[in-house]
Amino acid sequence: MKKQFVVTLFLLLVVLLLAACNAAPGSEPAAPQPTTAVAEPTVAADQPDTAEPENEAADTETCAAPQPGTYQLIDAAHGICFLYPDNYEVLQGDDGSLTLYVDSLQNTEAPLATIHFATLDGRTIQEVVPDYPSDAELAAMSVLSIELGEEMAPVFDTIPGQDTNRRVIAIHDDRVYDLMVARIGEDYGAVGEEAEALFDLITSSWEFIDVVPDAPLQSGSQ
């Protein structure tokens, strides 16, 4: 009987000990916190450079600076620059040719100047400019030559036409430059004197510059 009591007491102690071990002290386990996703840094894909290239700037350091009463004209598409009187307008044709006039193209009370351009492309000057004298004709003529830019160019004076005019035709880097000033000479009185002054101003300030294809014309007060 005593032995049975001891066994019962022992078992009771074991049960109490197990109960004490299972009752873990402290707070309940914390609920798991939601995980915040960390955004990966986005690397932008290389984009093609779609910006349109800017027009190449013309080197105009050799161009004459405008003086009082004059404007500077820069035609980099044809590789020239010069000065002209500030009372003239400049018209650029579809073929790139230039016309300088006062008030109106029909104004006969003022000189008129035109400049035409062409490329030799293996042709003779006579093929490009049909009324250009042959070498034999030039040799028989008393033709004045002037320096246009850095090129020596013949001057054809008092050429008959709708209005008596003067032309100077230069060749530079396989390009032909045909300058004409109309209503020039003593027969035109004051207008003829203005034409002489216009011719002298353009030719004395004329410079050849590097050609920049498709460069816009700069003239007037720009």
Residue 83 to residue 80: CA distance in whole angstroms = 11
Q: What would the pLDDT profile of 147-160 be if each residue is shown by its tens digit?
A: 999 999 999 986 65
Q: Which of 82, 88, 108, 69 is nearest to 202 (CA)?
A: 82
Q: What is the pLDDT of residue 38?
A: 47
Residue 34 lies in a domain: no
Residue 44 lies in a domain: no
Type of residue at 189: G
Q: What is the pLDDT of residue 27?
A: 46
C-alpha pair distances (Å), 182 with each of 115, 156, 160, 175: 12, 12, 10, 23
Q: Is 179 helix (H, G, I), strand (E, B) or coil?
A: strand
Residue 111 lies in a domain: yes
Residue 133 lies in a domain: yes
Q: What would the pLDDT profile of 4-51 be if each residue is shown by its tens digit?
A: 655 565 666 555 656 555 554 544 445 545 444 444 545 445 555 555
Which residue range(s) make up the domain with 176? Answer: 87-203
141 confidence band (pLDDT: 50, 70, 90):
confident
Residue 186 lies in a domain: yes
E-assigned strand segments in the chain: 70-75, 80-85, 89-92, 98-101, 112-119, 144-148, 151-159, 165-172, 175-182, 207-208
pTM: 0.73
Q: What is the pLDDT of residue 43?
A: 47
Residue 107 lies in a domain: yes
Residue 173 lies in a domain: yes
Residue 169 lies in a domain: yes
**What percent of the chain is predicted at pLDDT more than 70?**
72
The b/e string for 84-107 (b: 16+ C-beta within 10 A; e otherwise) is bbeebebeeeeeeebbbbbeeeee
Q: What is the pLDDT of residue 137?
A: 85
Q: What is the pLDDT of residue 133?
A: 86
The token duo for 198 is 């216009």
| 130 has pLDDT over 70 | yes
The CATH number of the domain where 113 resides is what?
3.40.1000
The b/e string for 172-199 (b: 16+ C-beta within 10 A; e otherwise) is beebbbbbbbbbbbeebeebbebbbebb
197 confidence band (pLDDT: 50, 70, 90):
very high
The token duo for 141 is 């003529």
Give the number of domains in the chain. 1
